[in-house]
Amino acid sequence: MARTKAARPEQPQEEPNRTPSKVPPTALMKSPPQAQELSHEDRASLKDFLERSDKPFSVTTVNPKKRKRSAADTALRIETDLFVPRLSVAYEIQPATNWDSLKRYKRVAVGNESIALGECILVKHDMSQDDPRIDSLGQWKAKVLEVRALDPEHVYIRVAWLNRPEDLAGGRQPHHGKNELIPTNQLDIIDAMTVNGGLNLFEWDDSNDESPMPGIDEYFWRQTYDYANTKTFSKLRKFCRDRKPQNPDEMILQCESPKCRKWMHVDCIVKDAVQRANRGTAREGKAVKIKKRASVASVSLDPTPPATAMAQEGAYTAEFLVRGSPNGPDDTPSEVTQIVVTDAEGEQRTEHVTCLFCREPIEPAISVYGSNC
């Protein structure tokens, strides 16, 4: 199988040699010993093994408590560097002898980029792709846990996958951000030639109001998934009347009343407005009749700013406008923060924004947290 030098271990970063110790059959090995120097014959045999398959190694996560006695003839390895302690997992590699015969390294060079243990990477899922432009959305993502190599043409990386929400149980939910990734303890061993470069991954603590938000184009994580054992997600902070988590790509508001201070989804606020309009309990506001365009020549010179959120029910539509938003170079920002309710005849009524819990006004002292709008 022909190979090219797309990736290589960095020689100065080779891990120090360690003397192998005797490990009981049911023990957990946190750090396997460094490989000993191979004889010429053993090296040739190992190279032949590596070139017989595109995927010479497999890694399987194991629950030690449920492990069959007949399988307990080799030591289990344990991985703890998986973002949070709950993801720590025991695993086996096959064939273990060949894997342990490869030297371990602390870094791997991919093109002009050096990637260290613990960093995250982009991984090709189709080796036939020749486009030099990297579409990060279309790449798999993973965290580097271990690098082993026979030579620069045979470099392998043990990884833990960073999954998209749609790739896990339950699929993508309304609270998931566009660039949200979910760390797992789903382990794999990949060829270093499949690596497309490094990935910066931001950790967002959504339980802390003071925690910085991820940038608009920044990949981030806030939740983990225990793929190997419990098949469960870690918990997210829930709030507002619907008790749902936050989508960081959307806006939320906080009531300014010292007695309340509750957070609310903007979507819930406009849904409340349109539901009240249908019940005939809308708050008093200023009514405005909308003029319909008669022709292309009558295009308004003062376009209406796009709404931050919108809801429709029955004959009514409610829009949430935020002062100063949108703020793009070609946008027309709103001059005030308000809710605009439109009926089937095109008549509009504006409302002040009020808290869904205490009904105190939020405007003009509007507090916006976590908006990438």
Task: Give the model's pLDDT for residue 98.
Answer: 96
Task: Give the model's pLDDT for residue 74.
Answer: 64
Distance CA 155, CA 96 (A): 16
- What share of the chain in percent tops pLDDT 70? 76
| pLDDT tens readout for residues 36-94 | 888 999 999 999 999 999 999 999 999 877 766 545 556 789 999 999 999 999 999 99
| pLDDT tens readout for residues 255-267 | 989 999 999 999 9
The amino acid that residue 53 corresponds to is: S
Distance CA 253, CA 256 (A): 9
| pLDDT tens readout for residues 89-116 | 999 999 999 999 999 999 999 888 999 9
Please provide residue 301's backbone torsions phi and psi, each rounded to the nearest 5 degrees: -85, -5
Cβ(161)–Cβ(87) under 8 Å?
no
- Residue ranges and CATH numbers for the domains of the chain are 7-221 (2.30.30.490), 252-286+304-369 (no CATH)
The β-bridge partners of 58 are: 94
Is residue 288's pLDDT more than 70? no
Residues whose CB is less than 8 angstroms from the CB of residue 268 and which lie 6 or more positions away in sequence, other chains included: 240, 241, 242, 356
Is residue 184's pLDDT more than 60? yes
DSSP characters over 129-179: ---SS--GGGSEEEEEEEEEEEETTEEEEEEEEEE-GGGSTT---TT--TT
Query: Counting runs of H as helices and runs of E as strands, what totals does the chain give?
Result: 3, 23
| pLDDT tens readout for residues 323-372 | 877 767 777 777 888 999 999 999 999 999 999 999 999 864 444 555 54
Distance CA 246, CA 211 (A): 14
SS3 of residue 48 by DSSP? helix
Distance CA 81, CA 103 (A): 20
Residues whose CB is less than 8 angstroms from the CB of residue 216 and which lie 6 or more positions away in sequence, other chains included: 249, 372
Chain mean position to CA 312: 31
- State the average pLDDT over residues 163-178: 96
